[in-house]
Structures are given as C-alpha cells and as structure tokens.
Amino acid sequence: MKCTNCSTELISGAKYCAECGHPVSGGKPGKVMPWDKIILVSVILAGIVGASLILFPDHNPVNSQQSVVINNTDAHLQLEKYLGQLKQSPNDIELLTKVGNFYFDSNSFTNALIYYNRILQQQPDNIEVIIDAGVCSFNQGQIDEAKRKFEYALSLEPGHPVGLYNLGIVFSNKGQHEKAAEIWHKILNVAPDSPQADAIREMLNTETKKNKS
C-alpha cells in the first residue's frame, strides 16, 4: 500500500506516512516487528603487538545513540504521536531523531535513513547521526557508503570509539583484517573506558585463556 500524497510505500499498520506524515485512511493497527538493539559483534583480537586477528563470520556495527524506549504494546501509538508532531514541526531535530531511532531499533533501516538524512540536512556534522546512518547503510549492504560515513565521522572526532569500532568492522568485512585490528587497537588507547574497549579486552582475555589451555 502506498501513500496517496507522496506514493511512498507504507509500513504495515501505519496511520501516517513515514516520508511526508500524511494520514493513512482506513489504517488498522498491525503487528510491530520485535525490536532489538544492534549487538556488539564477536571479534577476537589476538596479541596487541602482532595485531593478529581471529574472526567469526558474523559482524555488524553498533549504533551510537541511546535507543528509544518503546515496548511492542504502545509502539504504534508512540510512532503515530511522533509523526503527527512532525507534521506540525517538520524540522524538529528531537522528533526526527526519535522517529529515526524508532525505525533503527525496528531494523527498518530504509525508513531510519529518511529521518537521519533530514537531520543531516540541518546538521551535517552531527556525529552520532552520521554513525547511525552508516550503520543503516551497512545493514543495507552498502559497505562502501558505510565506510565513507564512518570515516567522515572520525574526521570530525578521530577518537570516537563507536566510529572506530564500526570502521574496523567495515575493514573486517572487506577482508582487510590487519587494518581492522589496527583500528580496534586504537580504541584501547583513545577510549580505554568505553564499552568497545571493554569488549575488546574481554575478548583478548578469552583468547589468552584459550591459548594457555
């Protein structure tokens, strides 16, 4: 089903168009896809000096922003509220972020990008949104575009731990494992107290224990 105002494909059960906010006539509440956070991937860095790397096959980047706290029961009501408010204030950064994050957490990356891009039109150097837009591109299979976004975010803040982590994942998926390891090791130096650094240290400890056994 498409929006009668802008012809954008509508999500199931939507009462407002994700693109233009136009009301959908006759819409009925549908089932919302259970949302999960993009989880930290399982990568193991073996040896700080040698930067050798053992990789598991599945690698996904992590989001930079705090998730929208929405449960499945009131998800549609919350989304409709945000979209209705956006219709009145289409350039409201906070509302655009909430809707973008809602779709992100629903794994609806195409819709999330619509709202992230609207934010970036106003705030082209918004690092958190740039990174999350990069995650959306990655999950759509646009690896080079994700790489471009992560690199741009890091040009604005070279020590951003999530940006570094995600750029490492891009290189890992491209088969450039030494480059990925080099980037991940930077996190231990520039952001030693970050969740990403903690994950790396934990995986290093796990690998060390395996080597000793």
Residue 87 belongs to a domain: no
pLDDT (0 to 100) of residue 9: 58
* Residue 59 main-chain phi, psi, to 5 deg: -135, 125
Residue 159 belongs to a domain: yes
Residue 32 belongs to a domain: no
Report the CATH number at residue 124.
1.25.40.10
**Domain range spanning residue 120?**
43-69+108-206
pLDDT (0 to 100) of residue 65: 58
pLDDT (0 to 100) of residue 2: 66
Residue 59 belongs to a domain: yes
Give residue 55's pLDDT band: very low, low, confident or very high (50, 70, 90). very low
pLDDT (0 to 100) of residue 5: 60
pLDDT (0 to 100) of residue 171: 92
Over residues 134-158, the mean pLDDT reads 96
pLDDT (0 to 100) of residue 108: 92
Total domains in the fold of the chain: 1
Predicted confidence (pLDDT) at residue 45 exceeds the cutoff of 70: no
Report pLDDT digits (tens) over 10-44. 554 554 555 445 455 543 322 222 222 222 332 33
Residue 136 belongs to a domain: yes
Report pLDDT digits (tens) over 149-161. 999 999 999 999 9
Residue 31 belongs to a domain: no
Residues 56 and 46: their CA atoms lie apart, in Å, by 13
Report pLDDT digits (tens) over 68-124. 444 455 777 888 899 999 999 999 999 999 999 999 988 899 999 999 999 999 999
Residue 36 belongs to a domain: no
Residue 89 belongs to a domain: no
Report pLDDT digits (tens) over 62-76. 665 544 444 455 777
